[in-house]
Structures are given as C-alpha cells and as structure tokens.
Chain A
Amino acid sequence: MRTLIDALWVVRAEPAARWTALTAFAVLLPVYGATLPASLTGGYIGWVSLRLLTPATAAIALVLSIMLSLTLALMVVLLRHGQRASKAAAAGGALVAFVTPLLCCTPVLPLALGTLAVAFPALAGMAAGTVQGFIATHETAILIAAVALSGAALYQNAVRVARGAACRVSRSRQPER
C-alpha cells in the first residue's frame, strides 16, 4: 500500500502523468459505463445501454476507469524515466472487461464461429451458445477477474515507479569491484 501511495505521489508531481490520468479517466469512464451494460442490450452501445446501467455495473466501470487511468499515468512516468512498463496485465484487464459484455448475448460469437467454420469445418459443430452461456452465467466473476488483473497491473507499475530506475540496472552491467 505504501508503495502505491509513493508511486501516486510521483504521478501527482509530474504534469504529463497527471494529465494522462485525468484524460484517460474522462475517456474510460463513459466508455466502460456504456459498454458494460451491453450484455443487456444485445450489443447496442450508447444512451440505450447507459439507461440500463445498474449501481453494481456503474461501480465496476468506476473502479476499472480509475485503475486503468492511474496505470496509464504510471506507465508515462516509467517511460519518461527510461524504464520499461508492465503492459500485459493492464491490456488483459482492459480487454476482458470490454469484450465480455459484447460476447455473451450478441450475434458476434455465432457469426464469428459460423464464418470460421467455412475455413475450419471442425468448428461447425461447436455451438456458440455453449461459450455464450458460460460467459453470461459467469459474467460477474469474469468482470471481477478483469478488476483483479487491472489491480495487478496498477501494483506492478507502482512498484517499478517506487523503486526508481536503479533497480532496472542488470547485475552484469555493474562495474566490477
């Protein structure tokens, strides 16, 4: 926790990182707010999906937006300091949360499997409903996993920022004593 607070102080001190966090939050909150209820609208995204936003979905959208915008800000700090940012978990969390509502009750998966079956006939027997049903009945758990992934990404990048650039110097490059 101390590491995270230290890293966020660095973000606060750097204008580029601060603006990245604010801009990303302003973009991500409406995007997630409109996308997460898409499982209730058959994939329609916009005012109609915002209308179906429940308190629980709104809370997940808020948490995801905060974590991803802070992760992006930490990435900016790392890149400006010549360090490598941890991207995989952040991309995974963002993608899982974005794609899950679109896959569960829309024609996307049946169309994709139907089209792929032209090239790979083995897929023809695979009912999209099996996958869609699993996603629909486990949607909450999948979204919690996305939040956990985003949290992991935030923590990984916070640790790198808090430790500073010195820890990235490999042992083999240190001058011999």
Chain B
Amino acid sequence: MTANPDRRLVRFGCVLALLVLLGGWRVQAAGPPPRAPDAQFTVVDGSAHSTAELKGSPTLLWLLSTWCGSCAAGLDTLSRHADEIAKTDLRVVILRNYQNGGYPGAGIAQFVARVIPRFQVPDSWVLGQASLELDRAYNGKHYPDIYFLIDRQGRIREVGGAPSATMDRILHFARSSG
C-alpha cells in the first residue's frame, strides 16, 4: 500500500517540526555555559583581543551578520538607547560573525555607518570581527543574531537575540549589574 504524497508531506513536516522543537528544548535544557569562553576577535583598527579581557565590566557581546534584518533593527534600537546604556557600566562589544555567518556582506564598520549614519558610536563600544575560534566557542549553531550578557566575573548570565525585541532584557541586565 502506498501513502498519499500529501499525507507523506504532512508527516514529514510534523517530524521536522518535532525535531526542531526537540532541538530547541535541548538548547534550553543545556543552558548557557557558566563561564564565557576565552576566544580571539579583531577590532576595527586591526588589533587582536580576547574575550578574557572583558572581565571586570558587565558586557553585551553581540554576534551579528551584516545581511540580517533583525541585526540592523537591533543596532538601530541599541543606538536609540545609547544614553541609557551610558549611565550604566555596560560595555558593548559588537562583532561580525565569522565569514559573516556564511553569506557575503558589508564589513562591521560599513554596516554601522549604513544602518545608523548619524549616530556617533561611543568610545566604550567595541566593533570588530569574530574569529573561527570565537564562532566555535560562542555560536556553534551559526545563528545570524545572538548576544551574550556577561557579568563582571566573566559568567554568561543570559543568551538572547534580536535587541530590537529584547532591549528591555539588556537594559535590565545593565541596570542590575551597576
């Protein structure tokens, strides 16, 4: 007996949806790693740095791809809250994903200049490029838009995405870490 092609498609869709849900659950169940792994990144002036240097200040470490719409919207949202962020100790580190997440696009400096042309990026904000090592340590699943809220002790307190939708969580972390 052969199954109707429509039914087979529905069954395949259901199995795929279940697998995605299970995958999501697994990510949720595993939770964020207790300590932010040490990994290299390069800032726009070309100098190499390590995430180990981020200890001492609460940090927003945001990995984005410059083709991603939610990343552009998130950067715009972040710039609108720059004054609120400046009142806290939060350090903002924005890194372009390794190889831009697998699809070509602008460099991080051009991306920032295009999305928020009139915004003066504060000196406390770091713009750069993630290394393969950092990509493997922080973004093994290659999400185009993912951020980590890291406390003064270098522990990852929260993992999220799309600051355009979750800015209140970032601000809450910044205020509570002050």
Contact = CB atoms under 8 A, between A and B. Distances in A.
Report if A and B associate in a common complex: yes
B70 to A, nearest CB: 4
A62 B19 CA distance: 34
Interface stretch (A1-9, A77-85, A122-130): A122-130
Interface stretch (B31-39, B41-49, B86-94, B100-108): B100-108
B23 to A, nearest CB: 4
Contact of A107 (B24, B67, B74, B100): B24
Given A40-B69, A139-B69, A112 B162 contact: no
B134 interface: no
Given A41-B70, A41-B73, A108-B20, A132 B144 contact: yes
Interface in A77-136: 104-108, 110-112, 114-116, 127-130, 132-134, 136
Given A111-B23, A127-B142, A44 B165 contact: yes
B65 A112 contact: no
A132 B142 CA distance: 11
A50 B165 CA distance: 11
B164 interface: yes
B70 A115 contact: no
B60 interface: no
A42 B162 contact: yes
A49 interface: yes
B73 A129 contact: no
A94 B142 CA distance: 28
Contacts of A41: 70, 73, 162, 164-165
Contacts of B104: 133
B24 A129 contact: no
B44 to A, nearest CB: 22
Residue among B65, B69, B97, B104 with max Cβ neighbours from chain A (10 Å) = B69
B141 A133 contact: no
A52 interface: yes
A167 to B, nearest CB: 26
A48 interface: yes
B137 interface: no
B71 interface: yes
Contacts of B109: none
A82 to B, nearest CB: 22
14 contacts: A42-B162, A105-B69, A106-B161, A107-B24, A111-B20, A112-B19, A116-B16, A116-B19, A129-B101, A130-B103, A132-B65, A132-B144, A133-B65, A139-B69
For the complex of A and B, the 7 pairs showing the least CB-CB separation, nearest first, are A133-B103, A129-B102, A42-B162, A127-B102, A129-B101, A40-B73, A44-B165
